[in-house]
């Protein structure tokens, strides 16, 4: 995994309040390094938005994500500040046709679009990343036409048309009218009620994890887009956690050598599948080399509750199988 100290970023600090700092002027190579996590490679980065609408953020705040890339429908510099700050920039960029299709009939026009696109090659058969969505439209405009929209479209083998993977665990697209105090409140943080000091948006989601089953070593394309809906006022932003675009460690070479063990995380559940499991002991080992879980297995698959594990990288070891790694968020 890359760390910020190893990056050579072209940055100009333009907004800092409290413990949150936002910077702009990121080069394409810097964007790739900021997003790229375990077992993936990112390339062909393109950006189509106002320079001031996108930035790198870092620092502790009311949000669960402490570092990453933010794309906004206004000004990234307006994200850092107390909740009483009015975040409403007018970059004047066009909206996005794909987002308007996602809105459906009568959904309204989009304005102030900001779009990031890149290719991603996973070494394993899963792709995961962490994100959050926030907006100045909360809570006053919940249920209205001012339903600012974002999407994270995935295309590639198995995804012939753009599929929005920016969703809740049950597949519900994340939007102001879908995640708020009244609907799916488990995934919503009311920043006004908490008198937030470091994030200006009136509300935002918890740190969510997107998951997709993919083909190892194939090229997948991401399009991350956000825009205002119905008018150009009141900013919204999508936050992509640094280094969180990741895959499991399965490689094509291993797959050809023998049937591969799989370890897939879904929330607090780890699903392990392997060709040789009967009467064998499976072990979960943390990054320090300590065994944190041990169990005798039968059959070819099982589900393990990992809610008690700390965040970090773990290895699944099972005799007769190539070890695989997974990340507990």
Domains of the chain: 4-247 (no CATH), 258-328 (2.60.40.3080)
> Mind listing the pLDDT tens digit of every residue in the chain (329 residues)?
223 333 333 334 444 444 889 887 778 888 888 898 888 999 999 999 998 999 999 998 999 998 999 999 999 999 999 999 999 999 999 999 998 888 776 567 899 999 999 999 998 888 989 999 999 999 998 988 888 889 999 999 999 999 999 888 888 888 898 999 999 999 999 999 989 999 999 999 999 988 888 999 999 999 999 998 888 889 999 999 998 898 876 543 333 434 467 788 878 888 887 766 555 677 888 766 677 887 777 667 788 889 888 888 788 877 667 778 888 87
3-state secondary structure the chain: CCCHHHCCCCCEEEEEECCEEEEECCCHHHHHHHHECCCEEEEEEEEECCHHHEEEEECCCCCCCCEEEEEECCCHHHCECCCCCCCCCCCCCECCHHHHHHHCCCCCCEEEEEEEEEEEEECCCEEEEEEEEEECCCCCCCCCCCCCEEEEEEEECCEEEEEECCECCCCCECCCCCCCCCCCHHHEEECCCCCCCCECCCEEECCEEEEEECCCCCCEEEEEEEEEECCCCCCEEEEEECCCEEECCCCHHHHHHCCCCEEEEECCEEEEECCCCCCEEEEEECCCCCEEEEEEECCCEEEEECCCCCCEEEEEECCCCCCEEEEEC
Q: Quote the CA–CA distance of 106 and 101 in Å, as a whole number.
A: 10
Q: From CA 276, how far away is CA 319, in angstroms rounded?
A: 8
How crowded is the C-beta side of 306, counted as CA atoms within 13 Å? 32
pLDDT in the model for residue 211: 83
Alpha carbon of residue 230 to chain centroid? 26
Global model pTM greater than 0.85: no
**pLDDT of the residue at 37:** 84
């Amino acid at each position: 995994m890359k760390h910020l100290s190893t990056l050579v970023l072209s940055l100009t600090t333009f907004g800092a309040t409290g413990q949150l700092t936002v910077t702009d002027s990121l080069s394409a190579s810097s964007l790739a390094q900021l997003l790229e996590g375990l077992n993936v490679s990112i390339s062909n980065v393109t950006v189509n938005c106002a320079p001031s609408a996108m930035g790198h953020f870092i620092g502790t705040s009311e949000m669960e994500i402490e570092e990453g890339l933010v794309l906004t429908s206004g000004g990234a510099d307006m994200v850092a500040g107390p909740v009483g700050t009015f975040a409403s920039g007018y970059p004047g960029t066009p909206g996005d046709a794909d987002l308007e299709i996602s809105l459906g009939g009568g959904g309204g026009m989009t304005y102030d679009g900001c779009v990031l696109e890149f290719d991603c090659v996973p070494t394993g058969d899963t792709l995961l990343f962490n994100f959050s969505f926030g907006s100045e439209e909360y809570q006053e405009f919940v249920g209205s036409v001012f339903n600012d929209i974002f999407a994270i479209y995935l295309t590639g083998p198995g995804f012939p048309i753009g599929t929005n993977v920016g969703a809740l665990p049950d597949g519900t697209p994340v939007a102001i009218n879908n995640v708020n105090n009244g609907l799916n409140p488990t995934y919503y943080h009311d920043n006004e009620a908490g008198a937030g000091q470091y994030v200006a948006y009136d509300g935002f989601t918890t740190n969510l994890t997107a998951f997709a089953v993919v083909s190892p070593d194939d090229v997948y394309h991401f399009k991350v887009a956000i825009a205002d809906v119905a008018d150009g006022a009141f900013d919204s932003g999508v936050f992509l956690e640094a280094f969180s675009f990741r895959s499991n460690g399965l490689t094509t070479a291993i797959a050809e050598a023998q049937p591969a063990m799989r370890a897939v995380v879904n929330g607090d559940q780890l699903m392990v599948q392997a060709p040789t499991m009967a009467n064998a002991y499976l072990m979960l080992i943390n990054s320090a080399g300590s065994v944190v879980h041990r169990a005798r297995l039968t059959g070819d698959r099982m589900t393990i509750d990992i809610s008690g594990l700390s965040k970090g990288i773990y290895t699944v070891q099972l005799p007769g199988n190539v070890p695989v790694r997974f990340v507990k968020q």
